[in-house]
Amino acid sequence: MVHEKVYEEQMHHKTAELPIALHRLEYPEGTDILFYLHWHQEFEFLVVTGGYIEFTIEDRTYTLSPNDCVFINSNFYHSARASAKSKCSFFAVDFSYEFLIENLNTHFAREYIRPVLNGNIIFPEMVRGKAAPPDSWQAQAIGHLQDINCCPEDALAVHELMIKTRIYQVWELFYIHAVCNNKQSTMELMEKNRLKPVLDFIRENYSYEITLSELSELLPMSEGQFCRVFKDVMRLSPFQYLMRYRIMQSCSLLIETDKKIGEIANLSGFNNISYYNRVFYKIIHCTPKQYRLYYNE
């Protein structure tokens, strides 16, 4: 899914020395939200080590058990909550494409990295580990990730050779079992390029009132045809996309500034704070105040 990304997670997933990070997190019983909707540029493999987690990637939700794994592509929105507020834990390996290869113009990158980034190749998004036979590719991939999890979080550079080897092995297994996105046709790519003026207009004017008529005239096409094309390409209606864009923009203001929530709502394109609160809760699953407290605590 194509996005104009607005709120990027503040946690750093890499260092100048090594573009990869390992995170181990545990949550006590009674915890609901593990992390709210966010995105980051790095790829991520996450493996559940205890309890049960409801994990959402874009508009898809998976219930994960111990030893299950999810792959989150670069720039994909994702969030997680504990199932039934049970005690749970996981580890996550986050890395940028530079960890695999620095130059995206090489043959290797054109063959194995760029197709994943642009959606022409779709990796399995969720892998069941517990039910997988020991010699299955799923068990092998999770085993490689568990090898990485044995490393100290603050001393990954010492184990760089092993970690890079394991990441390549995992990448190969996911690549072999990936599917080609036949929907990503030449026609769809043309439609995405055709929508660029609309997406640019939204990015530059989201804080003002935007009408369907204004957007459709940018192409130009009838409002009905525009809505059909937009939803086919973006998987959201123009109105849904605009609301989500405004909310994600407000998320960065909630974290990075001390502006009042009413002011942030207005700067994000909402002239009614009650409506802003309702839309925010519908998309992020918490109030703006809760969101600010969570990421600033």
Mean pLDDT of 163-169: 98
Q: How does the average pLDDT of the chain come out, rounded?
A: 90
Residue 47: beta bridge partners? 69, 91
Instruction: Please list, in sequence order, all residues whose beta carbon lies within 8 angstroms of the beta carbon of residue 102, skipping any fewer than 6 positions away.
Output: none
pLDDT in tens, 115-154: 999 888 999 999 999 889 999 999 999 999 999 999 999 9
Task: Give dist(CA 285, CA 63) in Å, integer.
Answer: 17
| Residue 157 pLDDT | 94
Q: In CATH, what is the architecture of 186-296?
A: Orthogonal Bundle (1.10)
| pTM score | 0.77
State how far Cα 99 lies from the chain centre. Answer: 19
pLDDT at 11 over 70: no
| pLDDT at res. 38 | 85
pLDDT in tens, 70-116: 999 998 989 999 998 999 999 999 999 999 999 999 999 999 999 99
Query: What are the contacts of 261-269 at 24+ separation with CB within 8 A?
Result: 261/288, 261/289, 261/292, 264/288, 266/207, 267/207, 268/206, 268/207, 269/206, 269/207, 269/208, 269/209, 269/210, 269/242
Q: 27 or 194, which is more confident?
A: 27
pLDDT for 278: 96
User: Can you tell me the distance from the alpha carbon of 77 to that of 129, in angstroms, rounded to the nearest whole number?
Assistant: 23
Token output for 65: 């058990």
Q: Give every CB contact of residue 41 below 8 A, 6+ residues apart in sequence.
A: 8, 74, 75, 96
pLDDT tens per residue, range 221-238: 999 999 999 988 888 899
Distance CA 10, CA 26 (A): 19
The pLDDT confidence band at residue 3, using thresholds 50, 70 and 90, is very low
Mean per-residue pLDDT, 27-48: 93
Planar angle of CA 145, 147, 153, nearest 5 degrees? 90
Neighbours of 12 (CB within 10 A): 10
Same CATH topology for 20-180 and 186-296? no
SS (H, E, C) the chain: CCCCCCCCCCCCCCCCCCCEEEEEEEECCCCCEEEEEECCCCEEEEEEEECCEEEEECCEEEEECCCCEEEECCCCCEEEEEHHHCCEEEEEEEECHHHCCCCCCCHHHHHHCHHHHCCCEECCCEECCCCCCCCCHHHHHHHHHHHHHCCCCCCHHHHHHHHHHHHHHHHHHHHHCCEECCCCCHHHHHHHHHHHHHHHHHHHHCCCCCCHHHHHHCCCCCHHHHHHHHHHHHCCCHHHHHHHHHHHHHHHHHHHCCCCHHHHHHHCCCCCHHHHHHHHHHHHCCCHHHHHHHHHC
pLDDT at 185: 52
Residue 188 has a pLDDT of: 61
Residue 7 or residue 176, greater confidence: 176
Top-tier CATH class for 20-180:
mainly beta
Q: Count Cβ atoms below 10 Å from residue 181 Cβ, excluding itself.
A: 14
Q: Domain limits of the chain? A: 20-180, 186-296
pLDDT the model gives residue 120: 86
